[in-house]
Amino acid sequence: MGDTAEPETLSRSRMQHLDWNRVPIEQVNPLFDRQLIVGEHIMVARLVLRKGCVVPLHSHFNEQVSNVVSGALRFTIEGEEIILRAGEYLCIPPNLPHTATAIEDTIAIDTFSPPRADWVNKTDQYLRT
């Protein structure tokens, strides 16, 4: 294991060999824990969302690919409800407003490109209220 995550800066371009046991856990709110692996173009986030956790309506220019590992998330996008269950992937294009609610205790892997500066810099107030 060559490294630990240091998600304080963006635009890194170096080899990283990690597992989630070596990445700091940030409790973003009482229902939402997050870990980040941050590359130059790719950010991989492991999310633990407890049942009832609501991610309010928001959008970002970063493309998002959400993958539920266990549990289930209910997304609402353009008036459509999408239930994302274990093993499923949802690609959310840039700038598309979306909400998500954990309808079960959920572990998800979200991938973004480019990396989310607001998550790295902790300026993501929409998650902290």
Give least dist CB 128 to its own copies, A.
Answer: 26
What is the DSSP secondary-structure string of 59-87? --SSEEEEEEEESEEEEEETTEEEEEETT
Give least dist CB 62 to its own copies, A.
Answer: 8
Q: How many CB atoms lie within 10 A of CB 66?
A: 22
Closer Cβ to its own copies, 32 or 35, answer by number: 35
Could you give the dihedral angle defined by the CA atoms of residues 26, 91, 64 and 94, in that order, rounded to the nearest 10 degrees?
A: -150
What single-letter amino acid sits at 52? G
Closer Cβ to its own copies, 29 or 67, answer by number: 67
Closer Cβ to its own copies, 53 or 64, answer by number: 64
Give least dist CB 53 to its own copies, A.
Answer: 20
Closer Cβ to its own copies, 11 or 29, answer by number: 11
**Backbone phi, psi, residue 77, to 5°:** -140, 120
Give least dist CB 51 to its own copies, A.
Answer: 22
Chain positions contacting its own copies, by CB under 8 A: 1-2, 13-20, 37, 39-42, 44, 62-63, 65, 67, 77, 82, 84, 87-94, 96, 111-114
Task: Decide if 101 contacts 83 (C-beta within 8 A).
Answer: no
